[in-house]
């Protein structure tokens, strides 16, 4: 057995990676468009539900995985086209956009419940249930290693994309000054489509990391969806390191709280952490200037 501290660290890091990935999805969209996309958790959920349905129909595992992720991303792009684009074109104020996204979230969530049933179903992780032995008598689940690897790859990829490519840089400049950005040749519609697609891709992939730990169900995207934007605001959104730091911090705080404190503190820990951060340092853990 691993010592209790190591156990807390390992499971905190695992859930922290998942929160960080969800935060990264919000981050990409928020940096490009200034929109907090409430529906992120639902794209994750839909990816898991589609996966379970496809596998039940006998589709090979990895084909089902790719098709489910592609399906969730297509839905997100359809929502962008049908809902976000007209609102942005009209210059709708933020509360209206948020309410519209909240409606989208409700439709995605309860629509899935109507179409695919309301039961919770298991989903195997890409790494199955194998374990890797570390040292004498300690082990780590292969699925956990997959979570670490995907998180590292996703953050590395997004960081390179946002700083080294023309499209990624135009994503960053678009929300700071949309008018100036469009004057220097940034296609704002393209930026928005790419950011919503990339955000949904990250969330849909994250579903295949999170659901194997719990279960797939139409309500189960809600909690990781909430934890994701909390992690983003905890970490700050100055750089790509913000969502990473926020996710890991949130995961560690939560697991430590559930390990050492009664459950009422554990489940509320994320919200208390966010309130403290927003009041003390609104720009987040990694944020430089006050926002």
Partner 1 sequence: MTTATSTAATRLFIPNTAVGVIVAIALVIPFFGSTYHITLAVNLCVTLILTLSLNLVVGSSGQFHLSHAAFFGLGAYTSAVLAKTVGIPPLLCLPLSVLLVCTLALLVGLPTTRLRGLYLAVATLAFSLFVEVFVNQGGALTGGGYGIQDVPALTISGTVLSGRAFYPLALLLMLLVAGSLYGLMRSRLGREILAVRDHSDAAAAAGINPPVIRTLVLVIAAGFAAIAGWLHCFYHLALNASLVSPELTFVWFFMVLVGGIGNVRGVVIGTVLLTLLPEFLGVATGQTILGIGVLMIIVTLFAPRGLGGVLDDAIARFGKARS
Contact residues toward partner 1 (CB under 8 A) are: 34, 36, 83, 86-87, 90, 92-100, 102-107, 110-111, 114, 226, 229-230, 233, 263-264, 267-268, 270-272, 274-275, 278-279, 282, 291
Cα angle 93, 76, 270; round to 5: 70
Give me the least distance between CB of 77 and partner 1, in Å please: 16
Nearer Cβ to partner 1 (5/106): 106
Nearer to partner 1, 177 or 267 (CB): 267
* Nearest distance from C-beta of residue 263 to partner 1, angstroms: 6
Dist. CA 137–CA 246, nearest whole Å: 32
The token pair that represents 21 in the structure block:
């990935």
Report, in Å, the least distance between residue 157 CB and partner 1.
26
Contact between 232 and 250 under an 8 Å Cβ cutoff? The reply is no
**Closest CB to partner 1 among 2 and 83?**
83
- The DSSP 8-state label assigned to residue 3 in this structure reads -
Q: How far is the CB of 57 from partner 1 (least distance, A)?
A: 25
> Least Å distance between CB 282 and partner 1?
6
Residue closer to partner 1 (CB basis): 95 or 185:
95
* Residue 27 · residue 237 · CB < 8 Å: yes
| Cβ closest to partner 1, residue 6 vs residue 261 | 261
CA distance 78 to 85: 10
The residue (of 147 and 269) whose beta carbon lies closer to partner 1 is 269
- Angle at 287 (CA atoms; ends 206, 31), nearest 5 degrees: 50
Query: At closest approach, how far in Å is the CB of 119 from partner 1?
Result: 16
- Give 45's contacts (C-beta < 8 A, 6+ positions apart): 108, 109, 112, 207, 216, 217, 218, 219, 220, 221, 222
Structure tokens at 78: 């359809």
């Amino acid at each position: 057995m691993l010592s209790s501290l190591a156990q807390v660290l390992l499971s905190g890091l695992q859930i922290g990676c998942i929160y960080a990935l969800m935060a990264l999805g919000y981050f990409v969209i928020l940096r490009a468009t200034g929109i907090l996309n409430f529906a992120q958790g639902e794209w994750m959920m839909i990816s898991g539900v589609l996966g379970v349905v496809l596998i039940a129909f006998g589709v090979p595992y990895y084909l089902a995985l790719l098709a489910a992720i592609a399906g969730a991303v297509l839905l997100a792009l359809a929502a962008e086209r049908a809902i976000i684009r007209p609102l942005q074109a009209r210059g709708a104020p933020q509360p209206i956009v948020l309410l519209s996204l909240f409606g989208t979230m409700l439709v995605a969530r309860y629509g899935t419940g109507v179409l695919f049933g309301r039961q919770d179903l298991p989903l195997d992780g890409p790494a199955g249930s194998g374990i890797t032995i570390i040292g004498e008598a300690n082990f780590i689940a292969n699925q956990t290693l997959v979570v670490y690897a995907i998180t590292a790859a996703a953050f590395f990829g997004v960081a390179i994309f946002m700083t080294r490519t023309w499209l990624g840089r135009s994503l960053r400049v678009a929300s700071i000054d949309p008018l100036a950005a469009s004057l220097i040749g940034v296609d704002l519609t393209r930026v928005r489509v790419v950011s919503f697609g990339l955000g949904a891709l990250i969330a849909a992939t994250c579903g295949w990391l999170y659901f194997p730990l719990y279960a797939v169900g139409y309500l189960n995207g809600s909690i990781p969806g909430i934890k994701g934007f909390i992690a983003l605001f905890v970490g700050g959104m100055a750089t790509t390191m913000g969502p990473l730091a926020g996710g890991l911090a949130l995961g560690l705080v939560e697991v430590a709280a559930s390990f050492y404190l009664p459950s009422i503190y554990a489940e509320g820990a994320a919200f208390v952490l966010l309130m403290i951060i927003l009041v003390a340092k609104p720009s987040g853990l990694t944020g430089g200037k006050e926002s």
